[in-house]
Amino acid sequence: MTLRDALANLPQATFAAKIAIADGKATVEREVDGGAETLSLKLPAVVTTDLRLNEPRYVTLPNITKAKKKPLETVKPENLGVDVTPRLKTLKALSSDSGTWRKS
């Protein structure tokens, strides 16, 4: 089964401007050509969003200072079960300074 096949049976909403989730349902408000539309979807569902959905938070200077003092944990990919073996082989790398780039 492909991802497309798996998603084909899920409820979908596109260009969501506002999302509310409660009681196993998602209420999605979206803007369409004729105005606004509200959809109610049973979860799980596939929802794509509009740029206006994001409301950025601005970090205060004291919180930046606190974050700088916190330890940063380094984790190796192997500890996460990730295989980082290269799957492609580089045959040749050329620089534009070498004169090998040509106009077609």
Domain boundaries, the chain: 1-53
**What pTM, to 2 d.p., does this model score?**
0.48
Those residues whose C-beta lies under 8 Å from the C-beta of residue 63, and which sit 6 or more positions away, are: none
Instruction: Per residue of the chain (104 residues), give pLDDT as tens.
Output: 456 755 678 898 889 999 999 999 999 999 889 899 999 999 999 888 888 777 788 999 999 999 999 999 999 999 999 888 888 888 888 776 655 555 54
Instruction: Determine whether 30 is exposed, middle or buried from the number of CB atoms within 10 Å of its CB (0-12, 13-18, 19+).
Output: buried
How many whole angstroms separate alpha carbon 90 and alpha carbon 36? Answer: 51
pLDDT of residue 61: 95
pLDDT of residue 56: 82
The three-class DSSP label of residue 47 is: strand
How many whole angstroms separate alpha carbon 27 and alpha carbon 5? Answer: 24
